[in-house]
Amino acid sequence: MAEEIDIKRVPQHIAIIMDGNGRWATERNKPRSYGHQAGVETVRRITSECTRLGVKYLTLYTFSTENWNRPSDEVAALMGLVLTSLEDEIFMKNDVRFRVIGDIGRLPEAVQKKLQETMEHTAKNTTMTMVIALSYSARWEITEATRRIAKQLQDKILTLDDITEETLSENMNTNFMPDPDLLIRTGGELRISNYLLWQLAYSELYFCDTYWPDFRENDLQQAIVSFQSRQRRFGKTETQVENENK
Ligand code: IPE
Ligand code: IPE
Ligand code: MG
């Protein structure tokens, strides 16, 4: 499979909805948290594979705003996992810079501290940026961006005519990276679940049934091969795009 990937056209930014941990565990008669634990191992593998392939940004949906409504023991288990699995060593070994997007203020203080430390320790790594979306939802993000822009209008820092698509992009949590080229969702559901609604406008979408704990390097490679087989037209015609690429 690896040899089918055109290494010159690897997506610059891959976003993933890591879904299926709970069902994976339930099928094994284990508690759901066992599936989340197994999912951490997949994060390690896929992060390392992305650096190997030359991906520059990897954005992982780790905990949504809506996930706060899960049973409190599952929420606690997930918070505990974030705390224990952010190991500097792994980021340093792969030369990966760590970032987080989301409503961080809602997280337990120990988690906030750990996130901050990991961001600081890895800030100078350049091979890839790994972003986790934590306590994140796109509608939350867009609402916050709207508030910030409205405040700048109120304070007369901006006028109505200043507001463009770029103004919105600059006020998103993701303003330090390009939009995803490829979105992958594991676990069989065909939905976006409030993830990166603004940024996914022209991303290629790839869905697979594999539960996240079972997702392997070759599954990622398959998603990239699918991505590379598509023509991204951004509204133009097939012929226009072919001529541009000559
Ligand atoms: C994804 O797996 C991880 C999180 C949402 C935290 P799920 O926990 O949603 O697993 P399923 O979808 O119930 O199998
Ligand atoms: C989306 O998965 C959120 C994450 C993967 C963190 P969910 O399992 O929460 O999504 P829904 O509820 O099935 O749409
Ligand atoms: Mg799920």
Q: What is the residue-wise DSSP string for 141-171?
A: HHHHHHHHHHHHHHTTSS-GGG--HHHHHHT
CA 151/CA 156 separation, integer angstroms = 8
Residue pLDDT, tens place only, 141-170: 999 999 999 999 999 999 999 999 999 999
> Facing residues of 58 across strands?
14, 130
Cα diameter, the chain: 59
Pocket test for ligand 1, best of 16, 17, 18, 23 (most atoms within 8 A of CB): 23
pLDDT of residue 29: 98
Coil, strand or helix: which one is 183?
Answer: strand
pLDDT of residue 3: 59
CA 69/CA 75 separation, integer angstroms = 8
Which residue is it, tokens 């409205």?
Answer: 150
From 6, 67, 125, 243, the catalytic residue: 67
Residue pLDDT, tens place only, 27-71: 999 999 999 999 999 999 999 999 999 999 999 999 999 999 999
Pocket of ligand 2 (CB under 6 A): 17-19, 61-64, 66-67, 189, 191, 193
Per-residue pLDDT for 10 more than 90? yes
pLDDT above 70 covers what percent of the chain? 99
Let me know if 19 is a catalytic residue.
yes
pLDDT of residue 243: 96
Judge if the beta carbon of residue 23 lies within 6 A of ligand 1: yes
Indicate the residue type of 228. Q
**With 0-12 CB in 10 A as exposed, 13-18 as middle and 19+ as buried, what is 239?**
exposed
Judge if the beta carbon of residue 22 lies within 6 A of ligand 1: yes
Domain 9-137+179-241: which CATH class? alpha beta
**The dihedral sign for the CA sequence 139, 91, 217, 29:** negative
